[in-house]
Copies of this chain bind each other. A is one copy, B any other.
Amino acid sequence: MLGNFTFHNPTKLFFGEDALDNLGNELRLYGPKVMLVYGGGSIKRNGIYDAVVAKLEKAGKKIVELGGVMPNPTIDKVREGMALAKKENVDLILAVGGGSTCDYCKAVAGSTYCEADPWDYYFNNWGKMTCRWIPVGCVLTMAGTGSEMDSCSVISNHHENRKKFYYFRNPDFSILNPTYTYTVPMHHTVAGIYDIMSHILEQYISGNDDCTTDYIAEGLMRSLIVSSRKVLTAPTDYEARSNIMWTATWALNGLIACGKPTDWMVHMLGQAVAAYTDATHGHTLAAVSGAYYRLLIERSDDAVKKFSRLAQNVWNVVSDGKSEKEVALEGLELMESWMRQLGLSMNITDCGANESMLEGIADACPINEGGYVVLTRDDVIEVLRRSL
């Protein structure tokens, strides 16, 4: 069943090996000054920077550069970008990088012309974005966050040990060339893959009715599992990389949340761990998933039913002669063995967390209310302890 909702996702996506060829036409829609934003500089080594700059120059754009966006972009860095965007009065912000760079550019685009400081206004007080938006384009170099077709921006504040999100506005366009992900190190490739899987699961593992949205989610998971296994041994397999990149986009652009409840608790837990350890996003999600999902299965019959369905429809568990709970747990075990195959962090100790941090991490962890079980603070500590 699909409840009331609005779906409106106007981002223009250009996909494929030749996707960057569309940049020139897009640039015509915007003014002369482009702020080119990127991360640690890998794009200068793999040729993507040169390819993008050539397109900008051909289009006669004046380039304002801002590099050094970190994997968990900070609010301090956002303020730096806002100052530059305002001073240079840029017409377009072009992110070249992964989800962090896209997220960062949305925060700058939505905050520059607001009077209040974005940390207080958006990320803490949940003010509504009403000030002028600077158009944003993304040239994606990693698959995972879905930032290329959603409005979400996740920003960290290390002064306060917090990692928070706000829904700004979608990128106006995104360029998705799967070959750009060939050189992403395997540690980050698999983190992206688990981020995708977690996005799908966190929208799927909730609700107990028959809903088209869940069937779409199952299709996405089946595709992701097949392609993720291929990419482990064949990092330049276009078929696998293109499927992973596209799955990432649809895992978090609104579609698989349509008309149903969602449960983002794994992201809440993982982000709280990252706020303390600065560990890679996807690995923190993997590290807390097993303990959280087992707790759901222990506490909720609806969760047992949904994990049993997941086991059969996605992990091909045969249910004959087994209890629903056995089927559910068998599916979870297959998922965990897939996670180990990928080389994901299976506990938060590997992410740099320890017993002494648990209270602090729990303080940093908001409680989600849409899922099968609403955790207490003690439950959060329990899940974290089981994840050590």
Q: Given A7-B15, A10-B10, A13-B8, A210 and B243 touching (CB < 8 A)?
A: yes
> Is B247 touching A212 in the complex (CB atoms < 8 A)?
yes
A178 in contact (CB, < 8 A): yes
> Is B215 touching A220 in the complex (CB atoms < 8 A)?
yes
Complex Cα gap A11–B8 (Å): 6
> Is A178 touching B2 in the complex (CB atoms < 8 A)?
yes
Pick out which of these stretches binds chain B: A91-99, A157-165, A221-229.
Answer: A221-229
Cβ of A255: which chain B residues have Cβ within 8 Å of it? 250
A54 in contact (CB, < 8 A): no
Cβ of A15: which chain B residues have Cβ within 8 Å of it? 2, 4-7, 258-259
* CB nearest to A249 among chain B residues: B7
> Is B12 touching A242 in the complex (CB atoms < 8 A)?
no
A354 in contact (CB, < 8 A): no
> Is A226 touching B210 in the complex (CB atoms < 8 A)?
yes
A121 in contact (CB, < 8 A): no
Interface bits A206-238 vs B (CB < 8 Å: 1, else 0): 000111110111111011001100000000001
A22 in contact (CB, < 8 A): yes
Q: Given A219-B217, A220-B212, A238-B1, A12 and B16 touching (CB < 8 A)?
A: no
A88 in contact (CB, < 8 A): no
Cβ of A239: which chain B residues have Cβ within 8 Å of it? 1, 209-211
> Is B250 touching A216 in the complex (CB atoms < 8 A)?
yes
* CB nearest to A6 among chain B residues: B14
Cβ of A6: which chain B residues have Cβ within 8 Å of it? 12-15, 22
Output the least CB separation between A230 and chain B (Å).
Answer: 8
Spell out A's residues near B (CB within 8 Å): 1-19, 22, 178, 209-213, 215-220, 222-223, 226-227, 238-240, 242-243, 245-247, 250, 255, 258-259
